[in-house]
């Protein structure tokens, strides 16, 4: 009996200690003090079945290329068929007629099903944000090249964390989140560009910092430019196709 009483008393003691600790840690005050009601987020309808969200700017839905131009301002001379646009060798890069700053970008792309070439000569193109910062498009399915130049690399700057490439001839997707660099009035850099890239649903770059525009030769370095610039898709002489391109301004 003595042992049972001791155990009962001990349990009651520790329950009392726990209750006291809880009472001391319990928050005090009015929960409404930390509730924020304004501004109320705008309602956006998410896209389904690959469709863009309701607040997106549709840059290409497969019907026309009115939102795009060549460098000289002329109409796009790439091939338009079956809801996709395909690079025509020698016609040159294409650019959006509108300019953008901080963005969320979705683009789907496909390299040729028939394999030709190797390394950088196989299904090469690029998504170039602000005409300066390139996410590489390449057939990187069992196709070794330099790691900072394979598909989904931020060209010559950041190697993708993994190779999420699909086989040639299959549609692939990029979802790119880009924060533009900022410059002071005298042209000095005040904040570098940052980028997050999701390749076929797989995160391959997580808010990485860019050292400047992507360069084929030499080290990157910033030069002041306007906050908003066109989006560019590269003609690298390979018949790469694109579809379902939309953008959200952030």
Predicted model pTM: 0.88
Q: Is 242 found in the same domain as 122?
A: yes
Q: Is 242 found in the same domain as 119?
A: yes
Q: Is 238 found in the same domain as 186?
A: yes
Q: Is 146 found in the same domain as 210?
A: yes
Q: Is 97 found in the same domain as 22?
A: no
Backbone angles phi, psi at 58, to 5 degrees: -85, 115
Positions of the chain with pLDDT under 70: 1-24
- Domain assignment present for residue 221? The answer is yes
| pLDDT score for 90 | 97
Q: Is 110 found in the same domain as 6?
A: no
Instruction: Give per-residue pLDDT as tens, 141-177.
Output: 999 999 999 999 999 999 999 999 999 999 999 999 9
| pLDDT score for 67 | 98
Q: How many domains does the chain have?
A: 2
What's the alpha-carbon Rg for the chain, to the nearest Å? 26
CB-hemisphere CA count at 13 Å for 73? 0
Query: What is the per-residue burial (b if ≥16 Cβ within 10 Å, else e) of 135-156?
Result: bbbbbbbebebeeebbbbbbbb
- Domain assignment present for residue 173? The answer is yes
Q: Is 199 found in the same domain as 103?
A: yes
Residues 6+ apart with CB under 8 A from 162: 202, 204
- Domain assignment present for residue 51? The answer is no
Give the C-alpha distances (Å, rounded to integers) separating 75 from 69, 87, 92, 94, 115.
Answer: 5, 14, 11, 9, 30
Q: Is 20 found in the same domain as 80?
A: no
- Domain assignment present for residue 116? The answer is yes
What is the H or E stretch that residue 231 is in? strand 229-233
Give CA–CA dist 133/196, Å, rounded.
Answer: 12
| pLDDT score for 171 | 98
- Domain assignment present for residue 45? The answer is no
Closest CA to 161 of 135, 199, 195, 129: 199
- Domain at 140, CATH number: 2.60.120.560
Q: Is 84 found in the same domain as 28?
A: no
- Domain assignment present for residue 85? The answer is yes
- Domain assignment present for residue 39? The answer is no
- Domain assignment present for residue 47? The answer is no
| pLDDT score for 12 | 66
CA 204 from chain centre, in angstroms, equals: 9
Give CA–CA dist 142/166, Å, rounded.
Answer: 10
Q: Is 181 found in the same domain as 72?
A: yes
Q: Which domain holds residue 24?
A: 2-32
Q: Is 20 found in the same domain as 61?
A: no
Q: Is 239 found in the same domain as 166?
A: yes
| pLDDT score for 19 | 64
């Amino acid at each position: 009996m003595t042992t049972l009483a001791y155990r009962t008393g001990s349990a009651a003691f520790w329950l009392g200690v726990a209750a006291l600790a809880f009472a001391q840690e319990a928050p005090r005050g009015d929960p409404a003090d930390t509730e924020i009601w304004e501004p109320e987020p705008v309602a956006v309808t998410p896209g389904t079945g690959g469709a863009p969200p309701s607040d997106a700017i549709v840059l290409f839905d497969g019907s026309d290329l009115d939102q795009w131009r060549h460098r000289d301002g002329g109409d796009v001379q790439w091939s338009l068929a079956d809801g996709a646009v395909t690079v025509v060798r020698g016609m040159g890069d294409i650019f959006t007629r509108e300019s953008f700053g901080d963005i969320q970008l979705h683009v789907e792309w496909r390299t040729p099903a028939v394999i030709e070439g190797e390394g950088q000569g196989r299904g090469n193109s690029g998504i170039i944000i602000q005409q300066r910062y390139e996410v590489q498009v390449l057939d990187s399915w069992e196709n070794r090249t330099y790691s900072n130049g394979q598909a989904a690399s931020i060209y010559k700057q950041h190697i993708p964390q993994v190779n999420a490439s699909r086989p040639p001839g299959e549609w692939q997707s990029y979802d790119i989140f880009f924060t533009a660099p900022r410059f002071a009035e005298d042209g000095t850099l005040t904040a570098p560009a940052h980028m997050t890239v999701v390749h076929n649903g797989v995160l391959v770059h997580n808010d990485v910092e860019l050292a400047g525009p992507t360069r084929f030769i030499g080290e990157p370095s910033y030069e002041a430019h306007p906050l908003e610039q066109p989006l560019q898709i590269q003609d690298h002489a390979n018949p790469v196709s694109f579809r379902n391109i939309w953008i959200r301004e952030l």
